[in-house]
Structure 1
Amino acid sequence: MSTTFKKQLSDLINRVHDLITSTRGREILLFLVFLLISYIFWLLLTLNNEVQEDLEVPITLTNVPDSVTLISDVPPSLKVSVRDKGSSLVRYSWGEVPTMKINWDNYRHSSGKFLLGTADLNARLRDYFGANSQIVTITPDSMRINYTTSPGRRVAVKVNADVHPALGWTVFGPVTANVDSVWLYSVDDLPHSLNSVETVPIVRSGLKDTTKFDARIEPIPGVRIIPDRIILTVPVEPLIARKQYVSVIGKNVPNDYTLITFPSKVEVSYLVPMSEFNSEPYVLKAYVDYNEARHARNGKLKVTMSLMPELYRNASMTPDSVEYIIEPKRAQ
């Protein structure tokens, strides 16, 4: 510890001691002591009085057989307004609220329903909070859960996505999901025509990299879908500029004539996905039409390209027209 720090600490301690031992300091200290005593008395009185608290009680179902599939959602918690002495409720207000466990076998019905009525739920909460507690309100005030023990049906997942890349990027490849099928469960028989499900529509634009989305399966009334959410992957790549030279070919040229162009090749520029930049270029062809020569007024013919591969974007050609001469072939 440096000498400077020791001196600063000693000065601080001396200033605090002078403040406490001064008349003003003793008055402040006395005020704080009385304030603390007042708070303790207020707390004791409050804990002894009857109060009403709004609490959120987490719940869980226990002893649910593996063969059971819940069709309805189980609420994660109950919102309960309870009246009791403050000393009884303080542990719920200030501490962690324990989970209330509900035994599946106690409320299961053979009709494919789990029923926990208002009276039973009220009794369970009184046991949870204590016999002297008074349950004022419960939300929800009962639990009705449909379930099935029948095997599910596996169906295909169709992706409903409208995604667009940012300028200079491209979606290169299909949008894929982490699963290709899901399971459907229902209390009633599923229609035979139900052989696929679809994701909730996803619309995104301005993508600048391969992106993953959390997608929800479109709900079906009365049907449990497992899993009900999937991960979609949109492959996005930057576009890279590439060039290649293409020979100009004359078409519709009579057999006894030769069409010569200047230059004999044109430069074709286009953008390709980065993963395709080092791949072998497609064979491209450039054409001039002999039949257009009779209409050409500036001594040039327009050059047209063959069909471009789909992955070649924003293609351009330089020059887009060429000079030419037509010569008769020499007799052999």
Structure 2
Amino acid sequence: MREMQRTIRLVRNFLFSSVNREFLIFLFFLALSGVFWLLMALNETYEKEIKIPVRIVNVPKNVVVSDAVDTMRVTVRDKGWFIAALIYGNRVRPVYIDFTTYSKNSNGECSVPTLDLIKQVVQMLSGSARITAAKPDKIEFFFSYGESKRVPVKFIGKVTPDETYYLARMLIQPDSVTVFASPEILDKIHYVSTEELHYSHFADTITVNAHLQKIRGAKINPSAVKITLFTDILTEESLDVPITGENLPMGKVLRTFPSHVTVSFITGVANYRRLRPENFSVVADYNDLQEHPSDKCSLHLRSVPHGISRVKLSANSVDYLIEEE
């Protein structure tokens, strides 16, 4: 108890000493002048742009609304008191668009003049307030009666892994989305594109969330997809692939020497484990031999599997023999 009394006495003596008393008086008049300055500042007239939420009401359950603007901006001119009360006093409320009023005699596209909504905004303001500007000039939205279709998602952008890696696979989840729109608009939509994405110089598998590009007059569900980019280490490999004859007449057999050719290529390690010689097609064309007779037949690489590059044959021509069956 004595310790507490001693502490209180020390604090009191400190605060009311002659030096600290002058400092407290200074702080008092400083705060008082600040209050007077604030009162004078708030009594001035200001212009302030205020965001007003926009809501569409009375929408039937079987109607899908798209491209609806959810905010309008109005510039209010008034005393600082009232503008501060409007912004910080939770007096900004949404304005409402009655769907049944503006959807009459409409072909799926509605346009609401901003002036029609100003009446609701005025009710939030003081009597001295004036609205000097409003944006946008009109609120547009589209609607449909549940018509929809499923379309694929198309990736837009460029992906370039590190030099020793390649893009083994791209997974888009979901790979298709539902588009709601009027029948006229749906007929023109064949796919939905992602936002443009660019990724370079990466080695590990990465996953990104990509927004889908908006389509005027349509609502896309979902509006974003998950994209996973799988990388693999590049390796130079080769396989012995059998040579087959092509365009041979009935009863004739083409034999080549050697019967196989080495195909070298670059691919990912994981992809190489899945490759087999039959995944490649190396042929000798009988028609070439008839048009350009030679001691050797030319070889043609007709098909290669997905995910390989820089494909080369160890020989472009080989000895051959045509036999009758």
Return the TM-score normalized by structure 1: 0.60
Partner in structure 1 of residue 175 of structure 2:
180
CA distance in structure 2 between the partners assigned to 1:86 and 1:137 by the alignment: 18
- What secondary structure, in the 3-state scheme, does the structure 2 residue paired with 1:35 have? helix
Aligned residue among 134, 142, 156 for 1:146: 142
Partner in structure 2 of residue 171 of structure 1:
167
Which letter maps to 2:141? Answer: I
- What secondary structure, in the 3-state scheme, does the structure 2 residue paired with 1:121 have? helix
Instruction: Measure how far apart 1:32 and its partner are.
Output: 1.2
Partner in structure 2 of residue 301 of structure 1:
none
Which letter maps to 2:74? Answer: V
- What secondary structure, in the 3-state scheme, does the structure 2 residue paired with 1:53 have? strand
Partner in structure 2 of residue 83 of structure 1:
77
Unaligned runs of 5+ in 2: 241-255, 259-263, 278-302, 312-325
Instruction: Measure how far apart 1:123 and its partner are.
Output: 0.9
- What secondary structure, in the 3-state scheme, does the structure 2 residue paired with 1:32 have? helix
- Identical aligned residues as a percent: 23
CA distance in structure 1 between the partners assigned to 2:111 and 2:308 by the alignment: 62
Range with bigger deviation, 147-156 or 59-68: 59-68
Number of paired residues? 262
Which letter maps to 1:154? Answer: R
CA distance in structure 2 between the partners assigned to 1:42 and 1:214 by the alignment: 50
Partner in structure 1 of residue 130 of structure 2:
134
Partner in structure 1 of residue 112 of structure 2:
116
Which letter maps to 1:168? Answer: T
Aligned residue among 161, 185, 190 for 2:185: 190
CA distance in structure 2 between the partners assigned to 1:106 and 1:29 by the alignment: 65
Aligned residue among 62, 70, 74 for 1:67: 62
Instruction: Measure how far apart 1:206 and its partner are.
Output: 1.1
Structure-2 change in CA distance of 1:276 and 1:177 (3 Å): closer
- What secondary structure, in the 3-state scheme, does the structure 1 residue paired with 2:59 have? coil
Partner in structure 1 of residue 288 of structure 2:
none
Aligned residue among 50, 66, 70 for 1:55: 50
CA distance in structure 2 between the partners assigned to 1:224 and 1:172 by the alignment: 33
Instruction: Measure how far apart 1:126 and its partner are.
Output: 0.4
Partner in structure 1 of residue 251 of structure 2:
none
Which letter maps to 2:21? Answer: R
Partner in structure 2 of residue 158 of structure 1:
154
Instruction: Measure how far apart 1:152 and its partner are.
Output: 1.6
Cα offsets for 1:121-175 (capped at 9, x unmatched): 22111012244432121122332323222512222223344322213333222x1
Instruction: Measure how far apart 1:201 and its partner are.
Output: 4.3
Instruction: Measure how far apart 1:205 and its partner are.
Output: 1.5
Instruction: Measure how far apart 1:77 and its partner are.
Output: 2.3
Instruction: Measure how far apart 1:114 and its partner are.
Output: 3.8
CA RMSD across the alignment: 4.5
CA contact (8 A) 1:198 1:217 kept: yes
Structure-2 change in CA distance of 1:48 and 1:163 (3 Å): closer
Summarize the alignment of residues 220-259 of structure 1 with structure 2, pairs less than 5 Å apart.
220-238=215-233
CA contact (8 A) 1:165 1:205 kept: yes
Structure-2 change in CA distance of 1:225 and 1:105 (3 Å): closer
Cα offsets for 1:187-232 (capped at 9, x unmatched): 4613646433333443322122211233344444444433343222
Partner in structure 2 of residue 43 of structure 1:
38
Return the TM-score normalized by structure 2: 0.61
- What secondary structure, in the 3-state scheme, does the structure 2 residue paired with 1:189 have? helix
Instruction: Measure how far apart 1:272 and its partner are.
Output: 4.9
CA distance in structure 2 between the partners assigned to 1:124 and 1:27 by the alignment: 54
Partner in structure 1 of residue 86 of structure 2:
92
Unaligned runs of 5+ in 1: 1-5, 254-267, 284-306, 316-332
CA distance in structure 1 between the partners assigned to 2:120 and 2:128 by the alignment: 13
- What secondary structure, in the 3-state scheme, does the structure 1 residue paired with 2:201 have? strand
Summarize the alignment of residues 244-283 of structure 1 with structure 2, pairs less than 5 Å apart.
272-273=268-269
Structure-2 change in CA distance of 1:45 and 1:72 (3 Å): same
CA distance in structure 2 between the partners assigned to 1:179 and 1:124 by the alignment: 42
